[in-house]
Structure 1
Amino acid sequence: MTGRLRGSAAHLLGAYGLLALTALLYLVFSLTLPRTFPTLDTLDSILSTQSIPAVLALAATVPIVTGAFDLSIGYGLGLAHVMVMQLVVNNGWPWPLACLTVIVGGGVVGVLNGVIVEFGRIDSFIATLGTGSMMYAVTGWITDGGRIVPGPQGLPAAFTDVYNSKFLGLPVPAFYVLALAVALWLVLERLPLGRYLYVVGSNPRAADLLGVPVRKYTVYAFATSGLLVGFAGVLLAAQQQIGNPSVGLDYLLPAFVGALLGSTAIKPGRPNAMGTLVAVTVLAVGLTGIGQMGADFWTVPLFHGATLLLAVGLAGYASRRRTRAGAPSTASP
């Protein structure tokens, strides 16, 4: 009985420890900074500024489910938001068509990444780093190394409202993130497609013996990642309202920190959408509190780097613990 209680307590701590840490950090910062932190303005800031890193973290999560890594997402984000600005500002496209084109283009890039990884038999680290570098080159070619700045009339108000508007008193990007996280959770946890993706990530050889088309599902994962990157690029263009060719790389490390740290929450030992959402939340609360305490600029990369190392270590421990407990790290088909 005692061992069972300990096991249940350990499971609860592993699954919901990050949620508890989020609450604890919020309490500590609220007591330390009572005039600035526990305010609606701070909540609005967290929900809006962290929406793009959250979407990109979800984009990184899907290939990780299959055991692959998409290092091109930062470069893809930079290219996507520059392409939106190029089509709207310089080519005069209607903004809905420009946004749709960029999102679909992101999906096409994701398919190409998956094809290179699976059919070219190139490690995902190397393949996506190579395609990402090529996307960065295309971004520089489009912008000629400069920025795309709207004319005196600015961007269409309906386009900037994609990021700046509110719904139910909260920033609308937060609802985009929530909707995407719920959709991914449903796919990964409740549909056969998600179970197949987890099997591919757990043991590709076993998946192949079971008749699961490994290559096809890996391409699906990269395509989903590309679509999400394209959507994040649309949000970034609406937020920045200029085309900056170098801005996307700043989001690469936070995205992987969120995705890897998320694999230690909700479903410890495997990447999952809700865990990623929790991880992004705890990172956002921590960074916001540190920023309001007047920390220097270098504390942000230090925080992300240390958290990444911690996330990888915890994810590995959670996966090994799950395996020792007799529960497979993925769902069976």
Structure 2
Amino acid sequence: MSPSSPRRRLQGHRHGHFIGTYGLLTLTVMLFLVFSLVLPDTFPTQDNVSSILSNQSIPAILALGVTVPIASGNFDLSIGYGLGLAHVLVLYLIVDGGWPWPLACLAVVAGMALAGAVNGVIVEFARIDSLIATLGTGSMMYAVTGWITGGGRIVPGSDGLPAAFTGLYDSRFLGLPVPAYYVLGLVLVLWVVLERLPFGRYLYVIGSNPRAAEIIGIPTRRYCVYAFASSGTVVGFAGVLLAAQQQIGNPSVGLDYLLPAFVGALLGSTAIKPGRANALGTLVAVAVLAVGLAGIGQLGAQFWATPLFNGATLLIAVGLAGYSSRRQLRTDPAPAGGPPAAGPATTADGAP
């Protein structure tokens, strides 16, 4: 064998690692440059960038929320229904219930966190597949939404909504829309939780091999319930922002956000930390989708181009995620992102 063969293999491995880690980020930059060249008067402008950041903030928050249960090997299909319920419930409490808007927002976020925990209990203790369980609970959420609204819309009175409430979405800071800072803050929180705290490491081990997680002492059921509760909390926060944006309670609006959220989370598992769901990868994936959709929209694409783009990207994301996971298993025998292999006498807290 030629002495240069191991060197070529090492270079090829490094090249493949770079593409897997930063390829999606590179694609984002390339797309932005291409659309800037094609649409020089409208695309590379501050107004367009602000519009992209504002319009994609809620899909980004939902994608980050669904990333947490995906890390544990579960899927939360109730997020679209939960988003619709949360935003309708906020407006109902403020407009019809006369609640102060901060109390209404806190109550809705807490309620959605509880709903997420119920999802986790159904999945883990009733032993129902997460896809089926969350689809069922999501349908029940949709029924509650219809019951609250009576099938109609919730419209504020002549006085409108409190300016401080609508300012949650409409405000700007340093020239950029405030929702963009919510997204960055949530990315930072999830990065710390998933990458730097035991909670995240346990979720990755559970998602990689639940049986092994139980053997080394990780309480898998409890952490999966926590993952669903985290997802519900994020959905509740996204519902508050959607209510501040829409300012009208529409019982069916949440379903439009379901597919983009899963596309972002699954596509994000192929970037930054290929082979596992991660917050930074989800952010990059959402950026790719945002730039792509904004570009094709300004090129005059028909209305059906958006669902076509999202659907095709979802298929590509699932395929790439599976490939990244298989590649990670071939190159690293340890669970991706998990803690070092523990001996038989090691507990979940790392104590002997």
TM-score of the superposed pair, with normalisation by structure 1: 0.99
Distance 1:201 1:257 in 2: 19
Alignment of 1:51-66 (within 5 A): 51-66=57-72
Alignment of 1:1-333 (within 5 A): 1-333=7-339
Distance 2:161 2:299 in 1: 35
Distance 1:194 1:60 in 2: 14
Contact 2:328–2:336, Cα closer than 8 Å, also in 1: no
Counterpart residue type for residue 158 of structure 1: A
Quote how far apart the aligned CAs of 1:168 are. 1.2
Counterpart residue type for residue 22 of structure 2: Y
Counterpart residue type for residue 103 of structure 2: L
Contact 1:56–1:228, Cα closer than 8 Å, also in 2: yes
Counterpart residue type for residue 252 of structure 2: S
Gaps of 5+ in 2: 1-6, 340-352
Residues 15-63 of structure 1 deviation map (CA, whole Å, 9 limit, x = unaligned):
0001100010001100101111011110010110100000000111100
Quote how far apart the aligned CAs of 1:329 are. 4.3
Contact 1:63–1:222, Cα closer than 8 Å, also in 2: yes
Distance 1:329 1:51 in 2: 32
Counterpart residue type for residue 188 of structure 1: L
Between the aligned residues of both structures, percent identity stands at 72
TM-score of the superposed pair, with normalisation by structure 2: 0.94
Distance 1:210 1:13 in 2: 34
Distance 2:175 2:112 in 1: 31
Paired residues in the alignment total 333
**How large is the RMSD of aligned CA atoms in angstroms?**
0.7
Which 4+ runs in 1 deviate beyond 4 A? Answer: none
Distance 2:161 2:332 in 1: 56
Distance 2:200 2:26 in 1: 28
**SS at 2:337 equivalent:** coil
Distance 2:89 2:190 in 1: 26
**Which residue matches 2:4?**
none
